[in-house]
Copies of this chain bind each other. A is one copy, B any other.
Amino acid sequence: MKFRIQKSDYIIGRRTAFLNIYDAEALGVKENSRIIVDFGNYNSIFFVSLSKNQVNRSEVIITADFSNEINDEFVNIMPAPPLKSVDSIKRKIYGKKLLQDDFESIIKDINDENLSQIELSSYVTSLQTVGLDDDEIIYLINSMVSHGEKINFEYEVYDVHSIGGVPGNKYALITVPILASLGLKVPKTSSKAITSAAGTADVMEVLANVNLKAEEIKKIVDNVGATLTWGGSINIAPADDKIIKVEQPLGIDPIPQLISSVLSKKVATSIRYLLIDIPMGNETKVQDEQSARSLAEKFIRIGNRIGLKIECAITYGGQPLGRAIGPAIEAQEALRALEGKQTSNSFIVKSLEIAALMLEISGISERGEGIEIARDTLRNGKAREKFFEIVNAQGSKGIEKSEDIQLGEFTYDILSGFDGYISYLSNRSLVEIARILGAPHIKEAGLWVYKKIGDKVEKNEPVLRLYSKNKEKLEQAVRLSRKIKLYSIEGMVIENIPDIKRSKRIWEVKE
């Protein structure tokens, strides 16, 4: 059927075509039906919404989040035939094993936004409840890589990656320059925070431009040895972002999707050696050692099969890493560490250990000796020097030392009500407070953890300091801090809880 076309700027979360209710009946389609809109030179799938009076007969209004140019005043509309990908999703729901073809059609349709929210949600849910085996994860990785941009290097490249879940996890700002100053090539891309207070890219953005194109990344890695950029500025594995939009409201992060999301991006950026940090703790993604080991072994097994040499470090994630949470304050803590100033031991130790593992994997140091080399490189200022080479190559924001960083001018100290020892800090609640303060969008918002688990605290001593650019947000955060459990204090230390457990290395898979 032929329709006169109009555009609307409504953003509804899918390509929507508004039809008159009688035209829809004549076409044999209903609300949410998939239709093909034929623009002459090309077709596109839209989802039907209806109206009796606001859309005239023989008229269609399409949403403008559909960005293609429209030349013609008229379009042809017909019901869309069933999608192969929907059949594949259904077979997964019924517990069947999917093949490369299935993932090709699923990822293509996710990329093209041809799936309804019902279908996409069902797919993501089945990834959690039915799961994928190793073969299927590899098919999924292949498809995610093939439907996105790639960066090729003429030499071997290295990467470190954390699966996340721990606030303050800014170690890459230390680890990457250590590795690069020792000659490793590290084109590190990071994410911005979705549910956390600051992603590595948010922290780095306080100091440098992080929106780099593939060619720019390649050039900087050629010249300087490393980048610390935002993965979202290159179009690698674009299906991932569309899947995250469904995972987030459900609050799930299925393991097969987590693995293929990480590895497809590494394959697309030609990474050859990869160290994966798996933080383990009550309020992280991995809650016990068995799950952490099983995830690590899965990463390694699959990596082996697709030509990626992977090692995993299971790290302690039971409290924030370091003491800073929020983009600017984390950047400040990282700079202090690079400058050799007094800072949190857990943060330094983790940054060095991850660097050490990578140095050992790459053969730059013998097994067991990486930590000394990494520590020297931090102490002798070479890491700091390399870090600013990276910052300048990406485009500096003008900050040259930790004291230059501005934090929110409105502050509030949360004081202890008792004498005792900190026995618990809630990752989740600390993040919630930081987000209420405005992190990650307001860079200056954040908090400082004066007292960490095992620390002695006296009545009226500060446990946390909140930073805000804005009085209302500070008051809101203070009100929330009275309602939720941020930490626990016990009268005496039952057991000496170390600040960080030694990372566990997993480099062999026992089957």
Q: Which residues of B contact A130 (CB under 8 A)?
A: 129
Interface string of A4-35 (1 = CB under 8 A from B): 00001111110010100100000000011000
Q: How far is the CB of A374 from chain B (nearest CB, A)?
A: 38
Q: How far is the CB of A429 from chain B (nearest CB, A)?
A: 15
A215-247 contacts to B (CB < 8 Å): 246
- Are B124 and A49 neighbours in the complex by a CB distance under 8 Å? no
- Are B90 and A9 neighbours in the complex by a CB distance under 8 Å? no
Q: A90-B251, A130-B129 are in contact. Are A53 and B9 (CB under 8 A)?
A: yes
Q: Which residues of B contact A8 (CB under 8 A)?
A: 51, 54
How many subunits of this chain does the assembly comprise? 2
Asked whether any CB of chain B lies closer than 8 Å to the CB of A117, the reply is yes
- Are B9 and A31 neighbours in the complex by a CB distance under 8 Å? no
Q: A90-B250, A93-B252, A125-B129 are in contact. Are A9 and B52 (CB under 8 A)?
A: yes
The answer, among B31, B32, B118, B124, for a CB contact under 8 Å with A250, is: B118
Q: Which residues of B contact A122 (CB under 8 A)?
A: 121-122, 124-125, 250
Asked whether any CB of chain B lies closer than 8 Å to the CB of A128, the reply is yes
Q: How far is the CB of A128 from chain B (nearest CB, A)?
A: 5
The answer, among B10, B54, B120, for a CB contact under 8 Å with A18, is: B10
Interface string of A170-193 (1 = CB under 8 A from B): 000000000000000000000000
Q: Which residues of B contact A31 (CB under 8 A)?
A: 11-13
Interface string of A84-105 (1 = CB under 8 A from B): 0010011001110000000000
Q: Which residues of B contact A51 (CB under 8 A)?
A: 8-11
Asked whether any CB of chain B lies closer than 8 Å to the CB of A249, the reply is yes
Asked whether any CB of chain B lies closer than 8 Å to the CB of A126, the reply is yes
User: With A and B bound together, what is the CA distance between A121 and B86 in angstroms?
Assistant: 13
Asked whether any CB of chain B lies closer than 8 Å to the CB of A332, the reply is no
Q: Which residues of B contact A16 (CB under 8 A)?
A: 12
- Are A49 and B10 neighbours in the complex by a CB distance under 8 Å? yes
